[in-house]
């Protein structure tokens, strides 16, 4: 398993994004997590297609887009040439997630599906789990950085590990929200192989960023 860490730039210095992300150049097993919020699927608003396009042009770091938008199909269509490493949309934002994955299968290296804290893993059909490359378990209500970790996400990770084995599926299990050195052990033990962390990494001086990343391995 990949043991990835995905720093979320939601908590970075937005007026200096280029400088902020350079601190993660050439770090192995690291993605940069981009939280795209539309002010509708979630109350908050962040950045969208033009900013993502610029970031993609400026870095070789694998980029991981987390779509918190009402119309993921539109965003997936617009960003398919950007060279993203992974794109994740929300289960709750679509009526037919499998159809969406199949539509963009040839356009993205990896496509993920995310579930909010109140959505059980049983909502994800076996057919869907066999098709998807990543399942993102939200361990906070999506929309804001700096919230407290929700423990019910641990059981979801465990259930997904079992399902993955049962189905001989290949998806990564990513967890997002309230991740820090305080809970890294329990989330890794529960089976999460890709940890997103925003405020834990970026609310420090840049000289600390990589130490924080390493503490989540």
Residues of this chain that bind ligand DX5 (CB under 6 A): 8, 10-11, 33, 35, 66, 140, 142-143, 145-147, 176-179, 196-200
Q: State both tokens at 122.
A: 């049983």
- 66 touches Zn ion (CB under 5 A): yes
CB of 195 to ligand DX5, least distance (A): 9
Min dist. Cβ of residue 87 to Zn ion (A): 12
Instruction: Return the residue of 172, 176, 183, 194 that touches Zn ion, per CB under 5 A.
Output: 176
Q: Using a CB cutoff of 8 Å and minimum separation of 24, what contacts does 49-54 make?
A: 49/75, 49/78, 49/79, 51/17, 52/79, 52/82, 52/84, 53/79, 53/82
The residue annotated as part of the active site, out of 38, 64, 133, 176, is 176
Catalytic residue among 35, 38, 133, 193: 35
User: Which residues share a beta bridge with 194?
Assistant: 4, 174
Question: What one-character DSSP code corresponds to residue 124?
Answer: S
* Residue number, 66 or 164, with CB nearest to ligand DX5: 66
Nearer to ligand DX5, 17 or 169 (CB): 17
35 lies in the site for Zn ion, by CB under 5 A? yes
DSSP, collapsed to helix, strand or coil, labels residue 39 as coil
Q: Find how far residue 32's CA is from the centre of its chain.
A: 9
Nearest-CA neighbor of 38 among 65, 71, 67, 69?
69
Task: Respond yes or no: is residue 96 known to be catalytic.
Answer: no
Is 176 annotated in the active site? Answer: yes
Residues making contact with Zn ion (CB under 5 A): 35, 66, 176
């Amino acid at each position: 398993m990949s043991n990835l860490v995905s720093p979320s730039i939601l908590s970075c210095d937005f007026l200096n994004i280029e400088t902020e992300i350079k601190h993660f150049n050439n770090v192995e097993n690291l993605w940069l997590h981009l939280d795209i919020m539309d002010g509708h699927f979630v109350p908050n608003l962040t950045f969208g297609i033009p900013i993502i396009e610029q970031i993609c042009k400026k870095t070789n770091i694998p980029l991981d887009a987390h779509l918190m938008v009402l119309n993921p199909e539109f965003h997936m269509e617009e960003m398919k040439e950007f060279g993203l490493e992974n794109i994740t949309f929300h289960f709750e934002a679509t009526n037919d997630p499998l159809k969406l994955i199949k539509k963009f299968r040839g356009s993205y290296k990896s496509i993920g599906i995310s579930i909010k804290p109140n959505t059980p893993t049983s909502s994800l059909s076996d057919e869907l789990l066999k098709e998807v490359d990543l399942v993102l378990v939200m361990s906070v209500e999506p929309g804001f950085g700096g919230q407290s970790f929700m423990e019910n996400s641990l059981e979801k990770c465990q259930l997904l590990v079992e399902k993955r084995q049962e189905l001989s599926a290949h998806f990564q299990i990513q967890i997002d929200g309230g991740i820090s050195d305080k809970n890294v052990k329990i989330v890794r033990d529960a089976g999460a192989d890709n940890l997103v962390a925003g405020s834990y990494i970026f609310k420090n001086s840049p000289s600390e960023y990589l130490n924080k990343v390493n503490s989540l391995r």
